[in-house]
Amino acid sequence: MADNKPSDSQLRLALAQFLFAQNIDIETLYRALGADLSTAESEAVSHMAGIIDGITLATSKIRTHGLDSWAKN
C-alpha cells in the first residue's frame, strides 16, 4: 500500500487555505497556540519565521488572486 501522507509543503498550503477560509491571521493563530518565542532556540525561531512568512504570503495571494489561481501570479 502506498503512503499517501502529504508533504510538508502540502501541509503548509492546506493550513494557508484553511486560515484564509476562516479569516484567521497567522499571528493570531500562533498566539492562540501559546507559542512563546522568548524561550525558543534561535534556530527554531528562524525556521518557524520562514514558514510563517510563506503561509502569510500564500494567504495574501489567495485573497488577491483567488484559490484556483493564486500560485500562477
Amino acid at the residue 45? V
Q: What tens digit of pLDDT does each residue of 31-66 get?
A: 788 877 677 777 877 777 787 788 788 878 888 888
Positive or negative, the CA dihedral 40, 42, 44, 46 is positive
List, for residues 15-30, the tens digit of each pLDDT value: 777 877 888 876 777 7
CA torsion through residues 57, 55, 51, 25, sign: positive
Measure the CA–CA gap between 3 and 33, rounded to whole angstroms: 29
Cα 17 from Cα 70, distance rounded (Å) = 11
